[in-house]
Structure 1
Amino acid sequence: MSDPQHIVCPHCHTTNRVAADDRAQADCGKCHQPLFTGHSVALDQAAFERHIGRSDIPVLVDFWAPWCGPCRQMAPAYEQAAGQLEPAMRLAKVDTEAVPALGSRFNIRSIPTLALFKGGREVARQAGAMGAADIVRWVRMHGG
């Protein structure tokens, strides 16, 4: 059995200890929902801090806005990528209109922008819309 990892629930944002081998089937100890659904999770500022700061798996964040055409175009591809990349990582979305402080803090100048976080810090960034295969390839190229 592998060492337990901290995984933040996409539903209630509680941190769970889960054996790496059991991640795919694991449920949250608090809300009993699956820890991985094959979909991205929308984050506000508090949830962002929990997922980035307390998760032992990488977190890929799509910084986007509802008025952005390329962002809306990329959304289905991002969801496809979530289905392929989970449970090795969490895919999240931050609406820079709803949470402008995060866009400002990370100096997001164009959207969509993907940022890969590991161990609480940003390790890679890519601006511009991409297809699912390109998202998966880019993440894996950067160790996600």
Structure 2
Amino acid sequence: MNDDTLTLGCAHCGAINRIPAARRAHGPRCGKCKRPLFEGAPITLTTANFSAVVERSQMPVVVDFWASWCGPCKMMAPVFAQAAARMEPDLRFAKLDTEAEPALAGRFGIRSIPTLMVFREGRELARQAGALPQAQLEQWLAAYRL
């Protein structure tokens, strides 16, 4: 990675964008579809956009593996959304529905939900099983911020 630029996958069209690292907080948009690259809310991950958002992006991405029937996942959802609003663009936040995308959940050996994982360029940096309160989540993620 060049210290001056970051590659960042667009969650909407899958295009890979290069942005100046110092300007990531200035509302960068996708060069292809023109949509914002940061929206202050978690990205919905699918098989179609996983590679661009997680594997090909140099930004650290925090992924919440969850399911709609999971009580702790429902409790974690607003905490995760608030962390996205507060910590982007130093981290990127995404949610992966394990019921809708079982192959991706299986690929990472998800055994319990919610499970939070931090990735950078597709490599797992950290994993945390279970819901966390806001302060503890942000403290855990502080080490991975750009």
Normalising by the smaller structure, the TM-score range is: over 0.9
Specify the alignment match of 2:139 in structure 1: 137
- The equivalent residue for 1:78 is 80
Q: TM-score, normalised by structure 1?
A: 0.92
- Structure 1: stretches of 5+ with no match in the other structure: none
The 8 Å contact of residues 18 and 26 in structure 1, kept in 2 or not, is answered as yes
SS in 1 for 2:138: helix
Figure out how many residues of one structure are paired with residues of the other and give that number: 142
Report deviation, 1:10.
2.7
TM-score scaled by length of structure 2: 0.91
SS at match of 1:91: strand
The match for 2:59 among 43, 57, 60 is 57
Counterpart in 2 of 1:11? Answer: 12
Segments of 5+ residues of structure 2 without an aligned counterpart are: none
RMSD: 1.3
Contact (CA 8 Å) 1:81, 1:133: kept in 2 or not? no
| Aligned residues of 1:63 and 1:111 also touching (Cα < 8 A) | yes
1:18 deviation in Å? 0.4
Q: CA deviation at 1:60?
A: 0.5
Shift of 1:110: 0.5
User: 1:1-144, aligned counterparts within 5 Å?
Assistant: 3-24=4-25, 25-141=27-143, 143-144=144-145
Q: Which string of whole-angstrom CA distances, capped at 9 and with x for unpartnered residues, describes residues 97-138 of structure 1?
A: 000011111111100000011232101100001122221111
Contact 2:11 2:52 in 1 (8 A): no
Q: How far off its partner does 1:38 sit?
A: 0.6
- Percent identity for Structure 1 against Structure 2: 51
- Give the residue type in structure 2 aligned to 1:3: D
Q: Report the Cα distance in structure 2 between the residues aligned to 1:40 and 1:63, rounded to whole angstroms.
A: 12
